[in-house]
Amino acid sequence: MSLSSVYASSECAISFELFPPKTEAGLEKLCQSIDRLMGFGPKFMTCTYGAGGSSQAMTLDVLRKVKQISGLPVASHLTCVGSTVDELCEYLSQACEIGIDYIVALRGDPPKGSESFEVTAGGLRYANELVELIHQRFGQLGIAVAGYPEVHQEAPDAKADLANLKRKVDAGADVIITQLFYDNADFYRFRDDCQAIGIDVPIVPGILPVTNFAQAKRIATMCKSAIPAGLEKAFGGCSCGEEEFEIGVEHARHQTIDLIENGVPGIHYYVLNKSDAAEKMLDGLSMSV
């Protein structure tokens, strides 16, 4: 199934994002989570890798396992960080050999300890260059790219950020998956702005259910995602982790219902290798308007 065809149906297509576990116990837990997540009919699953490509081999191993368990299409993240063009092509060749279907093509964040992104000698500077490389040399792979409803933290303004996004789409991206956000109004504004400049590929919102408020604040700070005052106030009144879980899951459930009612082609869930929040959030929901 091509990546663009995933979103051709009138039904909202869901997908889940995983990351490579560090231990065998973590891998076993991940496999159990995948079994439960399959009950919600995802169309594909993605897997990240560590900063600077530190867990690329594990990412491919995880995706091989996910595909064996689920039978679903799978997508690997790939960044420009720390890799030459030859090394990127080698990874893409390996991905194709084991049956990876799609690539989430990213420039990547600066490695830990670095204040800004630095181009590797013989490497690529921008995500649109990576998209072009994949599109030209590995045309069988579907390509997803990142969008930022609240503007990428390094972009000077929203206009420049949208221009960068359009370059990625024009280079051959099939779909845009957004960074997490907690206020759907940010997504709708972003979607309208994309359409206004001629971006016509599916724009898929990315949702991270908050199950730990301190962790959510750290993530939101890193990616410049605002936590609505009402939600922050609700978390401030929590006395235990269980209450935080309930509030965060309910907020993500309301986001999901509203997004479906407003005609999104799909929703991508950052599940952090856990199924409990996704199970509670999606239980009983219809993916059709």
Rounded-to-integer distance, Cα 287 and Cα 289, Å: 7
Residue 145, token pair as written in the block: 């790219």
Q: Enter the tokens of residue 194.
A: 């994309």
Which residues are CB-neighbours of 50 under 8 A, at least 6 positions away? 20
Q: Where are the beta strands (DSSP E) in 229-284?
A: 266-270
3-state secondary structure labels for all residues of 101-152: CEEEEECCCCCCCCCCCCCCCCCCCCHHHHHHHHHHHCCCCEEEEEECCCCC
Distance CA 194, CA 236 (A): 35
Say whether 17 is catalytic. yes
Which of the following is catalytic: 17, 132, 150, 244? 17
Tokens encoding 60: 């491919």
Name which of 193, 52, 79, 62 is nearest 145 in CA terms. Answer: 79
As to burial, measured by CB atoms within 10 angstroms (0-12 exposed, 13-18 middle, 19+ buried), residue 286 is exposed
Residues taking part in catalysis:
17
